[in-house]
Amino acid sequence: MSIFPKKARRGDRVTIHHAMLAQKVKEFVFPYVRLGVKDPAGDWTPLFEGHLMKMPKVSPTVSEPGASGNLRRSLPIHVLAGYLSTGSKRQQLTEILEGIPDAVHRYFVYEVPADARPGRYEVISELYVNGRKRLSGTRDEDFFFVEELTVNSVESHGDGWRVRVTNLSQEPVQVALAAYGQDDFQMRIHTIPGDVETSLAYDQAETFLVWSEGRVVQPLFDRSEPLCLRNQRYTVFRDKEDADAVFIMDAETEDGFRLEGRARSLMLAADGKTTRSRLRTGETEEIYDELVANGLIVEIDVDDFVPVLQSKG
């Protein structure tokens, strides 16, 4: 079994890949399968309970010229990656991978409730044949986490800042403090213990709290104005013979622009790290508004990075 994502949030969908391997069931039978999710409180949510048809591993007869000797099965590469990333023993993992081509693959979806209890969720698979119960070969890895953090405050501290974060789960949560410096990108990894409030220090004003496998990017700075970015659908290039200008080209429409002076400076400065107030000043207001109106500079609302913003400060 493989599970994606391994770290989810309330309201997310978790996809569970279930493979019925040929060597597990050798007879032409209808094994009874029971699949479900057990939350941190021990409550059970069934995903499937019933009989599934399973054919034995045999060499099929090909009735048409050019036909394949097996039913074509598609298996996403991330499923294989999921198996390879587990801590299963080498022999057990080898058996799983060898059985995948002849297995029957099914996919189930678990909807994480909006009020789900944060913590570890176990996915349990049971297969019954002739009164005998078989468990998943990857049962030690069949789990995922529901993570939730609350940013309680952001305060200046000495030469930098401190953010106070509460982990609402009893399980530890890994986070990163990420920021763009003048010339580089900085990231510091922290682990927040379960069910505690932690204070994290950082020294760049425009820093993001990143968690849930990078899907939540939570700004820790003033969100009242957007970030400015050169429209990524356009190509920006310079001509050695016309060094005082930049050229903008739309590959789809072949429309082009030549910018010089303050328009050139604004276009180059819109790097996605700079806020509007730094570019749109009294001297550049009219030019800036024209660049935005023509779609050359786009304004990004940083609140859009967080599905459900819980921070304050």
Write down all domains in the chain, each with its CATH number in brackets.
2-63+72-146 (2.60.40.1930), 149-221 (2.60.40), 227-300 (3.90.930.60)
**pLDDT tens for residues 118-153?**
999 999 999 998 889 989 888 889 999 999 999 999
**Maximum mean pLDDT: which of 15-29, 75-89, 164-178, 208-222:** 164-178
**pLDDT tens for residues 241-298?**
777 899 999 878 878 899 999 999 999 999 988 889 999 999 999 999 999 999 999 9
Residue 107 reports pLDDT greater than 60: yes
Task: Pick left, alpha or beta for residue 213 (phi over 0 → left; psi -120 to 50 → alpha; otherwise beta).
Answer: left
Nearest CA to 200 out of 146, 149, 275, 148 is that of 149
**pLDDT tens for residues 25-69?**
556 678 899 999 999 999 999 999 999 887 666 665 555 665 555
- The pLDDT > 70 percentage for the chain reads 78
What pLDDT, on a 0 to 100 scale, did the predictor assign at position 20?
76
Q: Report pTM.
A: 0.78
| Pairing of β 207-211 and β 197-202 | unpaired
Residue 240 reports pLDDT greater than 60: yes
Higher-scoring residue by pLDDT: 157, 104: 157
H or E element at residue 161 = strand 160-167
Which structure tokens are listed for 3?
A: 């599970």
206 band by pLDDT with thresholds 50, 70 and 90:
confident
CB-count burial class (<10 Å; 0-12, 13-18, 19+) for 178: buried
Distances (CA, A) of 260 to 47, 107, 218, 267, 282: 61, 55, 36, 10, 18
